[in-house]
Amino acid sequence: MGFYIFQNGLRNLISAALILGCGAAVSEPTHGIAMYGDPALPPDFVSLPYVNPDAPRGGSIVLGNTGGFDSLNPFVRKGNAPWQLADFTHESLMGRSLDEPFTLYGLLAESVEVSEDRTEVRFVLRPEAAFSDGTPVTVEDVIWSYETLGTQGHPKYHGLWAQITSITQDGPRAVKITFDPGNRELALLAGMRPILSKAQWEGRDFANAPLADVPLGSGPYVVSDYEGGRFVQLTRNPDYWGADVPVRRGTHNFDEIRIDFYGDGTVLLEGFKAGEISAIREFNAERWASQYDFPRALSGDVVQSEIPHGKPSGMTGLAMNTRRAPFDDWRVRAALMHAFNFEYINDTLTGGAQPRITSYFSNSALAMQTGPASPEVAALLEPYADDLPEGTLDGYALPVSDGTARNRANLRKATKLLQEAGFSAEGGTLRGPDGTPFTFDILLPKGSTENIAIADIYVGALARLGITAGIETVDDAQFLARTNSFDFDMTYFRRALSLSPGNEQRYYWSSEAAEAEGSRNLPGIASPAVDAMIDAMLGAEGQDQFVTATRALDRVLTAGRYVIPFWQFTEGRIAHVRQMKHPDLLPIYGDGPTYMPEVWWWEE
């Protein structure tokens, strides 16, 4: 049987014998795989440690999303699909534990084998694995899914496909994948790709499917009803094949999950207060403390649960599009950061209750350290010293204001930086070297009331510098289209990060992604140092090397002044009806959007 070898975007069929003769040494089959070391759970584990394996089944809940949707296919670039569908209707070969930085356990696959150098991985499918229509999940489905997602799917799936050198059936229920050397995470990423039904898409256009073409999955829920832009009904499949698989036992306990769509967060909150929604996530500490005193909360029908976590802060804020002048000048970006009066904005909107994001991996051991770079980090960065933003090696920290509305000291610093960049004020208007007034727009989705409030305060501060900034609000579909095509000056940006950053960092920050429409690199970061730090992180052979490379990456990204950071969320705040229960033991990623409702249950 032949292997398909992919190189420079071309596919060539060659004999398997040519490959097998030089294959890497492969380990024995095992129940799980970790990025570093061994999985924490033994081969005979019954359920995940943070799950109630005896949780009752039943109940119906309603969740709320803002905006709308015009697609039920979350795996392609076209359209806007409810994000929950990928998690609840589809599955991958391996399932992730929310209590370990990056460990996978068998889901559709009953075992995994990986070579010592991580260039080869072999998965064996469970014989009982089946799609929701009862048809078995086959190796042919797996191979088709990898190729289709890698070539026609959303751009986030393309990176792995480009690094696969061969994928082939290796037995009745086994698939073997080989990769380019030097990227030890690929074997794990391969275990996390969603598996779709090849038969469903015969003769259909996967990348441009209409709303009615709902992808067939093997997950615990199926789409049982929907109305475009208004709601999606998910019903638990009573014949779900994987209910007793260890990573699934005790999860997905609600019979029905309805997702209703609201115009903005304010309307959604009012819907929750009125009893139309079962649970809501609150991101504003001041609102959490002061606005949850409505009758249903006072009566005990609504409960406020605070879920701590150990995740990095990630980055939330206003991204500047460095593809456009003058945002391509770090001094201009630094000036705009000095003009952003975080302390005043935080006090005004949250009562000062939420700490600021200080770097992309703040609130974790992966974060850059204060002051000068450590010798290990400096050794990685030194080859790029001439191109590094100011403060990368010596130490960089975000501007801090005195908390007053005037923010005079920081505005003076901003003025100096703008002058160094060639700007000058004439009659109250800041002009560039060519005399053009400094004007730009902040692009925001219509429903983001809090972000609009932040931008309003910021626009006033910029006016004192002679900068004319406008706020442009668009609907969700337009916002997605504009950000996908990088059609903005400055925009709202949110990038969640984990304790196991890996290949997705290329999709987020690499020079290649900067020009790839649809990528997550909204700021347009194109830095050789960033590219090299991502490579060092992916090639790390131990935890110490990995942490050093990630801290170096964090340092370059933060000192690059690409995003003006907001506040971080050190705990999850979930308000919910009293019948919704969760286990007492909370995992590292306990506040994540899949934790609720994945391991929760209904109990009168």
Q: Residue 26: its pLDDT value, please? A: 57
**Helix locations, 464-563, DSSP H:** 476-484, 504-509, 511-514, 528-539, 543-559
**Helix locations, 247-357, DSSP H:** 265-273, 285-290, 295-298, 330-339, 342-350
Q: Residue 16: its pLDDT value, please? A: 33
Pull the structure tokens for residue 178. Answer: 């080989």
Q: Residue 25: its pLDDT value, please? A: 56
- Residue 39 makes CB contacts below 8 A (sequence gap 6+) with 30, 31, 32, 33, 97, 100, 103, 104, 105
Pull the structure tokens for residue 328. Answer: 């391509």
Q: Are 527 and 508 in contact (CB under 8 A)?
A: no
Give the dihedral of Cα atoms 254, 255, 261, 264; nearest 10 deg: -20
| 15 phi and psi angles, rounded to 5 deg | -75, 140
- Residue 558 makes CB contacts below 8 A (sequence gap 6+) with 358, 359, 360, 368, 396
The partner residues of 211 in beta bridges, in order of sequence, read none
Secondary structure letter of residue 312 according to DSSP: -
| Pairing of β 468-474 and β 439-445 | parallel
Positions of the chain with pLDDT under 70: 1-27
Closest CA to 339 of 460, 470, 492, 494: 460
Q: Residue 145: its pLDDT value, please? A: 98
Q: Residue 308: its pLDDT value, please? A: 85
What whole-number distance in Å separates Cα of residue 331 and Cα of residue 337?
A: 10
* CA-atom Rg of the chain in angstroms: 25
What whole-number distance in Å separates Cα of residue 3 and Cα of residue 164?
A: 11
AA letter at 159: G
What whole-number distance in Å separates Cα of residue 419 and Cα of residue 424?
A: 6
Q: Residue 265: its pLDDT value, please? A: 86
Q: Residue 13: its pLDDT value, please? A: 30
